[in-house]
Structure 1
């Protein structure tokens, strides 16, 4: 049996709601990365979710909202003027689950 292909990101012009889960690795803890991620998500607008330090040194970012806005946040995580040093970002796309009030730091 062939494995199913991974979910693809939404088109850049998509207003359909999606869920982005991204794991950011590098020097991203203890540098204000979660705070800046929250600020960027709020500036982009219409995003709900959180940024969380993980035990292995990464930051997990979960964002739900219009596809183009989630893509904008992902681009910033990969290429933006982030604090610390991003060495890589792994993401998965899914359908929104809801349950978030705004964008939180956890």
Structure 2
């Protein structure tokens, strides 16, 4: 199991970005969250199988049809012993 932390920049708030990220994460059986930041960015933390996390990371570049993603920064991708979350939430 791995933990991914990423930051999406651009027009990613108020456009369904977190909702579409949540749908994709749940479809991939990942746990974690997508959270709006005061900076206008969206922070995504997800845990699960590495291949599924990489698929989610790819999805983050166009998560919502109404978003205009300028950049997705991978802040960390680390192996973990056990999952920290139950489900995938939005904040």
Length-normalised TM-score, structure 2: 0.89
Q: Deviations over 1:7-64 (max 9, x none)?
A: xxxxxxxxxx11000000000001111111000111122x110000011000000000
Give the conservation status (yes or no) of the 8 Å contact 2:21–2:63. Answer: no
SS of 1:36 mapped into structure 2: helix
Unpaired segments ≥5 residues, structure 2:
none
How far residue 99 of structure 1 moved from its aligned partner, in angstroms, is 2.4
Q: CA RMSD in A?
A: 1.4
Answer 1 or 2: higher relative contact order, Cα 8 Å, separation at least 6. 2
1-side partners of 2:49 and 2:83: how far apart?
A: 13
Among 21, 28, 31, the residue aligned to 2:5: 21
Unpaired segments ≥5 residues, structure 1:
1-16
Runs of 4+ aligned structure 1 residues displaced above 4 Å come to none
Length-normalised TM-score, structure 1: 0.77
Paired residues in the alignment total 88
SS of 2:59 mapped into structure 1: helix
Q: Which has the higher strand share?
A: 2
